Each structure stands twice: as structure tokens, then as C-alpha cells.
Copies of this chain bind each other. A is one copy, B any other.
Amino acid sequence: MPKPADATILAWARLVRAHAAAMGHVQAALKAAGLPPLEWYDVLLELEREGPLRPRDLQARLLLAQYNLSRLLDRMAEAGLVTRGPCEEDGRGQVVAISEEGRALRRRAWPVYSRAIQDAVGAKLSEAQAAHLAELLGRLTR
């Protein structure tokens, strides 16, 4: 069935638009607070939750391109937010861990970030609507 229904096309268009609007708001809020971009936060959160990880695992979890992540980790390591160590069971690989500064930055960023999410999403929907939206969006990655 190659022809998408009108509702499908509308959903796509609004997905793009809603994402652009919400993401723009969030990134602007982070920048206004002197914080690094969202992907830095994502990396820090993932490392904090899951413990030290190898780049390829981060890559898979965060849907980042390999070369992109490689250089992102360069910048974050240079900023002292993560550390790279050798990988025991694979000589090619490495293990990336969050540093204490990394944890501190993530904690500092969360109020700004959560506030922006509230403005961009929470304020526009009832809680039930948000839950329903999450449910429908979840189907798109399954």
C-alpha cells in the first residue's frame, strides 16, 4: 500500500513541525542558561543511568552516527565531563565513563531542561493527552 492516507501525511507533517518547535524551544532555553546542547545531556544521562559504556552502545541507544559520537566524546572529554579508558575484553574499543563534573553539569541542567519541556509540551496538553501522545509516538519506533 504505497499511498499514504491523508491522516498519515498530516501526522507526519505535524510530527516534523511539533518537533522543530519543541526542540527549538528546549535548545534555546539550554543555551540561554549557558548550558551545552541537548545531546551532551543525553550522553551524560545515559552514562549515569547505565554506567560506563562503549561508544557503540551509546551510539545505538542515542541514535547517533558513529563519527558524530566519536567527535562529541572528544569535546566532552576535553571539557572534563567524561573519561575514556581502555576496554578489557576488546582491544579496539574503549570504555566511556561520566566524571564528577559530568554528573554536576547534568544535575545543573535538569531544572532548565525540565522547565523547557514543561513549556513546550506539558503546558499544551492535559496529562491524559500527554500519555496518549506518548503511546502513539511509541508505536512509531516499534
Contacts and interface: CB of A to CB of B under 8 A. Distances in A.
Copies in the complex: 2
A70 interface: no
- Give the residue among A22, A24, A111 with the most B Cβ atoms within 10 A: A22
Contacts of A118: 1-4, 8
A5 interface: yes
A10 B134 contact: yes
A130 interface: yes
A66 interface: no
B9 A114 contact: yes
Contacts of A9: 114, 117
A3 B114 CA distance: 7
A14 interface: yes
Interface stretch (A50-58, A75-83, A92-100, A119-127): A119-127
Nearest to A123: B1
Contacts of A137: 11, 14-15, 17-18, 133
Interface in A87-142: 111, 114-115, 117-118, 120-122, 124-125, 127-134, 136-142
Given A5-B127, A7-B127, A134-B7, A22 B12 contact: yes
Contacts of A111: 2
A63 interface: yes
Nearest to A20: B63
